[in-house]
Chains A and B, each alone.
Chain A
């Protein structure tokens, strides 16, 4: 039904169908093919020239985990609509296919000077944050030198996206510590983003700072969960003789989590 609706004459139904397929992770070949086709949609346009259906299709394809979507998503990185480029970058990060790295790096061309706010719009020239996040997740170490200058970007959240990627690419604690410091930011929304960054990179020394951050417990629990997952996946080799053994770090993180319930 949702797959058929991607071709419905009612544009709002197409838009909804693309969201729905991603939300419920319908990764049937027919759904993936229909969504890839929707990346080229010309019918659904906003007043500002945006492509709502393409945005939703790009977002959905990231969730479906089918790498056949990669070439279409790479083409979306050149779309005139910022939000299509942003969604494509995010989804390419999720799909884990390294062939997109050069195209992602191209969006960082010109460095900080080129990545400025577009007057009258709530976003930068390029989706720099999403691009850096994807490159970090993909472990694209060749992008390290390109990302580093963004640590000095005038927009705080761009700096933090750079710190997150730099930590993923180098594992240098200095970048994790930069995110820990950022938990003191006065903007609640920003603190929540930082928490999710710390959880995503599993930066263990941040555990206590996360537990005492000034945000809702739900956000802290998700961040600490990221740390715990990092410990547990890394720890499988610690003591193969005793599957019941838990590291002190794991117990430390869980003690903090228990106190947030």
Chain B
């Protein structure tokens, strides 16, 4: 750990105003030091959206090294923090987060479900071994198909975004096209519009 990261971590822990907290989090995030990971994850639970967004951004920049700590420190008691963590995992896109995303897709909190739905479609599948890929993709597919029937329009919208991402994988493309075709009849005009966009992108891909 460099001295400067420790100073920045101390600054976050001692921040006595929201402005100072945000500034300290931004400074620590900008270092992209792995020493800051744990503190950045803790910030997700501080109930300060600006600081949390900066921490998510920092964790995404750190990337792969942040995945395991994010998985270990998923906050079971704070859905706000959980949503930010799932958003970070979704953006880093390591397939090691697959099980966590599948679990998050049925979280009681809609913000967590939306982030998970988007993430499930965009994992870096090539980081898995050839033998692992088919079952991993099927798990992501079945999860997305299931939440594409959620009563909440925003979850269905997010499921479409996830399905569109997953459709780049040829093995699962056919069931996705079938489901997107069904979803052109969605009761919600916003969901129908997103299905239309997904259909255009999937077909032209």
Q: Give the interface of A toward B (CB within 8 A).
A: 214, 216-218, 221-222, 225, 228-229, 231-233, 244, 246, 250-251, 254, 257-258, 261
**At the interface with chain A, which of B2-10, B37-45, B136-144, B153-161?**
B153-161
B26 within 8 A of A: no
Q: Give the interface of B toward A (CB within 8 A).
A: 49-50, 110-111, 114-115, 117-118, 153-154, 157-158, 161, 189-190, 192-194, 196-197, 199-200
B118 to chain A: which residues have CB within 8 Å?
A: 258, 261
A228 to chain B: which residues have CB within 8 Å?
A: 189-190, 193
Closest Cβ of chain A to B49, distance in Å, is 7
A218 touches B197 (CB 8 A): no
15 more CB-based (< 8 A) A-B contacts, given A229-B190, A246-B197: A217-B114, A218-B111, A218-B154, A225-B153, A228-B190, A232-B189, A232-B193, A233-B189, A244-B199, A246-B196, A246-B200, A254-B193, A257-B194, A261-B118, A261-B158
Closest Cβ of chain A to B185, distance in Å, is 13
What are 18 pairs between A and B in contact, CB < 8 Å? Answer: A216-B111, A217-B111, A218-B111, A221-B154, A221-B157, A222-B154, A225-B190, A229-B189, A231-B193, A232-B190, A232-B193, A250-B193, A254-B197, A257-B190, A261-B115, A261-B117, A261-B158, A261-B161
A216 touches B49 (CB 8 A): yes
A218 touches B110 (CB 8 A): yes
B114 touches A261 (CB 8 A): yes
Say yes or no: A214-B50 contact (C-beta < 8 A), given A221-B154, A244-B200: yes
Q: Give bound CA distance, A216 to B79, whole Å.
A: 13
Q: Give bound CA distance, A231 to B158, whole Å.
A: 20
B192 to chain A: which residues have CB within 8 Å?
A: 232
B189 to chain A: which residues have CB within 8 Å?
A: 228-229, 232-233
A257 touches B200 (CB 8 A): no
Nearest-CB residue, chain A, relative to B109: A218
A214 to chain B: which residues have CB within 8 Å?
A: 49-50
Nearest-CB residue, chain B, relative to A251: B197
A218 to chain B: which residues have CB within 8 Å?
A: 110-111, 154
Q: Give bound CA distance, A231 to B189, whole Å.
A: 10
Q: Give bound CA distance, A229 to B190, whole Å.
A: 6
Q: Give bound CA distance, A222 to B157, whole Å.
A: 12
Q: Give bound CA distance, A218 to B117, whole Å.
A: 15
Q: Give bound CA distance, A250 to B199, whole Å.
A: 15
The list of the 10 closest CB pairs from A to B, nearest first, reads A261-B118, A225-B190, A261-B114, A261-B158, A228-B190, A229-B189, A232-B189, A232-B193, A221-B154, A258-B161
Q: Give bound CA distance, A7 to B77, whole Å.
A: 43
Closest Cβ of chain A to B91, distance in Å, is 11
Chain B CB within 10 A, most for which of A214, A216, A257: A257
Closest Cβ of chain B to A195, distance in Å, is 14
A246 to chain B: which residues have CB within 8 Å?
A: 193, 196-197, 200
Q: Give bound CA distance, A254 to B49, whole Å.
A: 22
Nearest-CB residue, chain A, relative to B90: A261
A225 to chain B: which residues have CB within 8 Å?
A: 153-154, 190
Q: Give bound CA distance, A233 to B193, whole Å.
A: 11
Nearest-CB residue, chain B, relative to A233: B189
B50 to chain A: which residues have CB within 8 Å?
A: 214
B194 touches A254 (CB 8 A): yes
Closest Cβ of chain A to B55, distance in Å, is 16
B154 to chain A: which residues have CB within 8 Å?
A: 218, 221-222, 225
A257 touches B111 (CB 8 A): no
